[in-house]
Amino acid sequence: MTAFWQDPITFLRLWLENLLLFWGVPEGWVLVIRYTIGAVLLATAALLFVILQLWLERKLIGRLQDRLGPNRVGPWGLLQPIADVLKIFTKEHITPAGADRVPFNLAPVLSVAAALMVWAVVPFSATVFGAELNVGILYLLAVGAIGEIAIILAGWSSNNKYALLGALRTVAQLISYSVPMTLSALVPVMFSGSLNLNAITRAQEVWFLFLAPLPALIFLTASVAEVGRAPFDLPEAESELVAGYSVEYSGLKFGFFYVAEFLKAFTVSLIFAVLFLGGWRGPGAEAYPVLGFVYLFLKSSAVYLLMILLRGTLPRFRIDQVMDLNWKVFTPLALLLLMIIALVDYFLRGALPLVRVMVLLGVNALAYVILDRLLSSRERLRRQPVAQPVRPVARPENLINPSETGVAS
């Protein structure tokens, strides 16, 4: 039996199981109790984690925009999300006239459930995972379908044109981007020869990020689009659609959508860390599984931080640009890369790990250069306006002498 300080969660699980068996509970029921407790704990932990994550994101976005962010409630504004949650609890639930009640109330719950269901298969450490599914990646993709259904339900049952338009747009975006996402997720599957997430983690002697940087980039971009964050936040483009599918929701029901959005954002960084950054792997993680938690958390936090930076720096795409990027760049590129990497890796079967990494890196770099050339040649073909109006630039010196900026005085 492993010691408590090596792997506390497995220790506690075994202790509980033995206790229940000692009390004479039948084996099937022990399993049911164990899974129920695990699910409740995991879901609660994830939802509590979102509160911290909300604070972090608001604070960072505030810093990016030269503001302070939340700083009134608690030290450094740490209690601000809790205050927000309490406020949202007290708000009124409004069901719009003509809304379809059951789907309207079901949609927020399904939305959060779809985000939480992903956590069931993520391997948190060498020994701790919800379920060791041998089709883990397929499960991840399938659970996304439930989220799509929730969005359609929300948009349709609200009886609001903006909500319906937002829902249709969102689902179109989600379905389109799941194509390159799936194709690039196939690359780790190919390297490890398994659909099981834990097996994929174990296979990463070298992080798959170094073997396949371009598929990793496609996967990351597609998953940002999949969760509908800036720069892909068309689903709730405030200036175009009011707030998309969640426009008619208020109070706690809106809070559900809000939480689901943040939870999804962290979940995709978790998946990215598992697929491309070696999951729980790290020095000593095999012997001391509790370290796996720390590594996985650090890696996915780094990815999440990158997503916050993207959100803070990039402007929103137009809907045609989003579709253009997906169908004309990402999907063909992901397909081609899948084939090329499969072929190259097949010929490198017996090679040294270092040679393999170098050759695959070279292939990826070559593909990137060719892609860049192709894209920039397309850019040149695009019609340019004949006379560009000179636009004022807000610089300190221009404020003193505005005539130099070319603006008619």
Partner 1 sequence: MSILQWVFVVTAFLTVGAAVMMVASRRMMHAALWLAVALLGVGVIFITLEASFFAIVQLLVYIGAILILIVFAIMLTQRTDESGARLNAYAWAAAGIAGLIGAILAFTMAGWIIGSTALQELGSTFDAVLPLGQALVDAEGYAVPFEVASVLLLAALIGAVYIAFERKGERP
Region of 74 (left: φ > 0; alpha: ψ -120 to 50; beta: rest) is left
164 or 187: whose CB is closer to partner 1? 164
DSSP state of 126: S
How would you label 279-303 residue by residue, b for 16+ Cβ within 10 Å and e otherwise? Answer: bbbeeebeebbbbbbebbeebbbeb
183 residue type, one letter: L
Within a 10 A sphere around the Cβ of 146, how many other Cβ atoms? Answer: 15
Task: Tell the smallest beta-carbon distance from residue 322 to partner 1 (Å).
Answer: 18
> Should residue 141 be labelled a site residue for partner 1 when binding is judged by CB under 8 A?
yes
The Cβ of residue 32 has, within 10 Å, a number of other Cβ atoms equal to 11
Under the binding rule (CB under 8 A), the answer on residue 52 touching partner 1 is no
CA 186 to mean position of chain CA atoms: 17
Cβ-based burial of 306 (10 A; exposed 0-12, middle 13-18, buried ≥19): middle
Footprint of partner 1 on 180-239 (CB under 8 A)? 195
Span interacting with partner 1, options 63-71, 145-153, 314-322, 383-391, rule CB under 8 A: 145-153
Distance CA 145, CA 151 (A): 10
Query: One symbol per residue from 163 to 182: x for binding partner 1 (CB under 8 A), - otherwise; what is it?
Result: -x---x--x---x--x----
User: Does position 148 bind partner 1 by CB under 8 A?
Assistant: yes
Q: Name the nearest CA neighbour of 141 among 268, 324, 302, 42.
A: 268
State which residue, 139 or 207, has the beta carbon closest to partner 1. 139
Pick the binder of partner 1 from 126, 143, 271, 341 (CB under 8 A): 143
- How many residues touch partner 1 under the rule CB under 8 A: the total is 27
Shortest Å, Cβ 168 to partner 1: 7
Examine residue 335 and tell whether it contacts partner 1 (CB under 8 A).
no
Query: Could you say whether residue 30 binds partner 1 (CB under 8 A)?
Result: no
Q: Is 134 in the site for partner 1 (CB under 8 A)?
A: yes
How far is residue 114's CA from residue 260's CA, in Å, rounded to a whole number? 8
* Contact between 371 and partner 1 per CB under 8 A: no
Restricting to residues 82-111, name those near partner 1 by CB under 8 A.
Answer: 100, 103
Q: Name the site residues for partner 1 (rule: CB under 8 A).
A: 28-29, 32, 100, 103, 133-135, 138-139, 141-146, 148-149, 152-153, 156, 164, 168, 171, 175, 178, 195
